[in-house]
A and B are shown apart, each in its own frame.
Chain A
C-alpha cells in the first residue's frame, strides 16, 4: 500500500481564521514533506520532516506552522493567511534509500483564502 491520505479535501477560510491540514501515511516512511502548488506550476517545497524532526523550512512565512506528532502523521497549522496563499497543498512521504527514494503524494487539500 503506497497511500498517503490528506484531509480535508477542500478548505475555505477567512484571513482571521485558524485551521489545520492533516496528512497520514502508514508505509513506515520517516521523511514527510509539505508542498504548495499554484495553478499551472510545479509543486514548491515548504517543509521537510525527517524522523519527526523539522529538517528543512524553505523560508515559509510563520503563518504556516508544521507539526509532526508521530511518524505517521503530519499537520500544517494555518493562521492569518492571505488570499495569495490560496493553492493546492500536497503532502508526500519518502521511502528509504533502498526503496529508490520515491516520494508518494497525497491527493492534496485545495485551500481558498477569502
Chain B
C-alpha cells in the first residue's frame, strides 16, 4: 500500500525567500508522485510529477521537486517566493492497490507569503 506524509500543515515565508514544502512517501513499488496546488475555492492544478527517469523535476511557476529514493522524499522547492504562491499544496502518490489509478493525497500544506 502507498501513503504520503506532508510535514507541516502550515508554512510561512517572506516574499523572496526559499520555499520548501516537505513530502515523504511510502510505497512497495516504484512510485508515481505528484504535487498539486489549490487556490481558494478552486480545483487542483498540477504543478509537477515524477514517474520515471530524471529525479529532478521542474514544474510550472518556478517550482521543482527532487525524487530521493533513499530518503523516500519528494520535497517541493522554489528559490524565491511570490505573493501569488500563497495557496494549499498537496503531495500525492498513485495508488497501485486498486482504485483505478487513484491518487492518495497527503493532508496538505498551506503556504503563506508575507510581504
Residue from B34, B42, B98, B103 in contact with A107 in the complex, judged by beta carbons closer than 8 Å: B42
Contact with B along A1-36 (1 / 0, CB 8 A): 000101000000000000000000000000101000
Known: A41-B107, A108-B43. A100 touches B102 (CB 8 A): no
Chain A residues within an 8 Å CB radius of B90:
42-43
B36, B46, B99, B100 pick with most chain A CB within 10 angstroms: B100
What's the tally of chain B residues with a CB closer than 8 Å to chain A?
24
User: Does A55 make an interface contact (CB < 8 A)?
Assistant: yes
Cβ-defined contact, A105 with B45, below 8 A: yes
A contact residues around B105 at 8 Å (CB)? 42-43
Chain B, residues 102-115, CB within 8 Å of chain A (1/0): the string is 11011110100000
Q: How far is the CB of A110 from chain B (nearest CB, A)?
A: 7
Chain A proximity of B88: nearest CB distance (Å) = 8
Chain B's closest residue to A4 (CB) is: B43
Query: Please, which residue of chain A has its CB at the minimum distance from the CB of B45?
Result: A105
Q: When the two chains form their complex, are residues A43 and B34 in contact, meaning their CB atoms are under 8 A apart?
A: no
C-alpha spacing A33/B43, complex, angstroms? 13
* Contact indicator A48/B99 (Cβ below 8 Å): yes
Q: Do residues B102 and A45 form an inter-chain contact, with CB atoms below 8 A?
A: yes
Bound-state CA distance A6–B44 (Å) is 13
* CB atoms of B43 and A42 under 8 A apart: no
* Residues in B whose Cβ lies below 8 Å from that of A66: none
**Chain B residues within CB distance 8 Å of chain A:** 32, 34, 36, 41-46, 49, 51, 90, 94, 98-103, 105-108, 110
User: What 6 pairs between A and B have smallest CB-CB spacing?
Assistant: A42-B105, A105-B43, A105-B44, A107-B43, A48-B100, A100-B51
